Chain A
């Protein structure tokens, strides 16, 4: 008997082939899930972080001047050596360090004090807390313009207050001696609420048992602060310090808006110096080299703080 083969419906072969391809693809995806799901993130990071950093790094070895030297030549390490004999750049490094340490220090002290205050119960707490947080949500340039008015030597409210107390007015943002101090004051005012927010979250998450035990043992408030609150809060403190230190080193908009790095470069920080080199003077090669250094500087600050947190401050 002759075997008869039932003819397959037209297109069935193709469909089976497609199903098999589809199922194979699904199976592969299933196995490679961690890789596949990370592809968008990797592409994003590569395109927006790795590529620009590579371009900045490559540019740092050239003498590219935006207008007059559009076709740059390779100059080796010149751009990495030259800034170290430039007083203005050395000053900018010091100003960056001074600004970050002083403003973050001030923010921490005030932030801890206010976090502890808002951790207590008192009438109108929600209202006062909201008012306290307002600077954090204000736009940098807008608050800078207001502070410029406050700092005005002749018509500003700060000198008006000082003179009302019988003191002489201060040249806040017009003297090299006070310009950086003025910016630190603005930095503390602007960013303390962020510190408060993180530390308050930390305080509210602390276990109550150690405090109860300490109270039973007759510990004073100061002893509880030093021996219980701060040690338990160390993780939050370090997170707040790491974040604010990085942002403090990078502070740009308020400095540009209030003093533009002056007078006499007395408040010029590293990133302002880089900005002026790149976009005012248009030395892209030199600015790129300084940018690489600045990037490494932030990386170092961050690494030190993270290591400190891991090695000494963990509990």
Chain B
């Protein structure tokens, strides 16, 4: 009798819960059981840290297998482009950075409109909360062309930050920079030649100097100087802004920093090599994506474990615009498994799944992942700077344009002159030449398109309080006094 009463009570309780539940239907996660999805991803630390373990769990929970093809970013982009141009139904899930190829793929109509899937209660869980739970900076980057449909879910907010050696700043009592002038001063003081042989043992500053790759690191310095990749004329025409006074100031500053305070090899090194040099203790500051902190802090691979943290790239005469080259997931327009692909994206970007990524040091785009009590950032300043960047950053890492490859090469040419020559006249001449080329390309390739984010009109300038918040969080704000 007792068992019967218990059963009855349980049934009644269940009925009450069901009656109280919202009318929204539940997602049947196994509705596409047996499907295999093909996903094309970049090589990055988050693949092993988050994507692979989650793909296994996703298969257990949904019966959908995710076949991941992971290649170096340049290669996978080409592969995706060719598969999309060929309308290949074998490609289902596309990983991309909207500020890189987003405009091009959107303009070509290669990405599926995700809004109908997002609105479908049988495919999207009730508490999904997009865009409500997404950080502002991430949402800034999701749409690059005005009027663009929602064709991607932005999930990760890697930010270009300044990695600093806490121990060196403390040892030499150097002010942790909040302005670009202070950054140059710190780079000068921390370029240390201990044995006096004319070759520093520690270089003050390290950042990208290699061709087209420079745009991602240089962008913050460009915008913080008040420059920009493009501007609009009064009649609405989009033209290059790289020959403006502010942009040339930025080129001159960035070139000088690398020429005077970075190793001579900075012109040929790529981000992983810069990160390795920094982890080897050869530089006091590294301007790079925040995920390189994982390498610097790994005692097995780094000589500076526990000595590094990140702060925001200092403010310049034009303000402070954190650069957030986010990463998105999208569905190929030609996929034969669109609903299953959406189910995968929706599953991966749920709160509790993204929290797992966040705890694996992959900076996520959900606000709740950052604010969850279970989350602890690697260092206080890393957490503070990465979250501010994800919340207020803009997608400025590359000149957003259809002909983005050529635009990046053009900007890289000016950086090269700024580093190697460095004279104002040479930079101006090169900037003028490349700006004319870029403007001509825009006219040739972007008829009728309106790229949002060309100029960060919507971007919020960080105030001094916010700029120094990571420094305070790490207790470094009294240095240099």
Contact = CB atoms under 8 A, between A and B. Distances in A.
Could you tell me the dominant secondary structure of chain A's interface residues?
loop
A112 interface: no
Interface stretch (A27-35, A229-237, A275-283): A275-283
Given A151-B268, A153-B264, A154-B264, A175 B405 contact: no
B263 A153 contact: yes
Given A173-B268, A276-B405, A68 B263 contact: no
A155 B107 contact: no
Contacts of A173: 268
Contact of B406 (A155, A279, A281): A281
A279 B79 CA distance: 9
Interface string A222-266: 000000000000000000000000000000000000011011100
A67 B104 contact: yes
Interface in B65-105: 78, 81-82, 84-85, 104-105
Nearest to B78: A279
Contact of B265 (A156, A262, A264): A156
A260 B211 contact: yes
Nearest to B420: A175
A31 B286 CA distance: 76
Given A67-B81, A67-B104, A68-B445, A262 B211 contact: yes
A44 B109 CA distance: 37
A263 B85 contact: no
Interface in B256-276: 263-265, 267-268
A278 to B, nearest CB: 9
Contact of A264 (B81, B82, B403, B416): B416
A148 B268 contact: yes
B413 interface: yes
A169 B413 CA distance: 23
Nearest to B403: A281
Interface string B23-56: 0000000000000000000000000000000000
Nearest to A281: B405
A173 B110 CA distance: 38
Given A151-B268, A152-B265, A174-B267, A70 B85 contact: yes
Nearest to B74: A280
Contacts of A78: none
B251 to A, nearest CB: 15
12 contacts: A66-B81, A67-B81, A67-B85, A68-B104, A68-B402, A154-B263, A155-B263, A174-B265, A260-B211, A263-B420, A281-B403, A281-B405
Interface of B: 78, 81-82, 84-85, 104-105, 107-108, 110, 199, 210-211, 263-265, 267-268, 402-403, 405-406, 412-413, 416, 420, 445
Given A148-B268, A151-B268, 13 more contacts: A66-B85, A68-B108, A70-B85, A152-B268, A153-B265, A153-B267, A156-B265, A174-B264, A174-B265, A175-B420, A264-B413, A276-B405, A280-B405
The 9 closest A-B pairs by CB, nearest first: A153-B264, A174-B267, A154-B263, A280-B405, A153-B265, A152-B265, A66-B85, A154-B264, A67-B108
Interface of A: 66-68, 70, 148, 151-156, 169, 171, 173-175, 259-260, 262-264, 276, 279-282
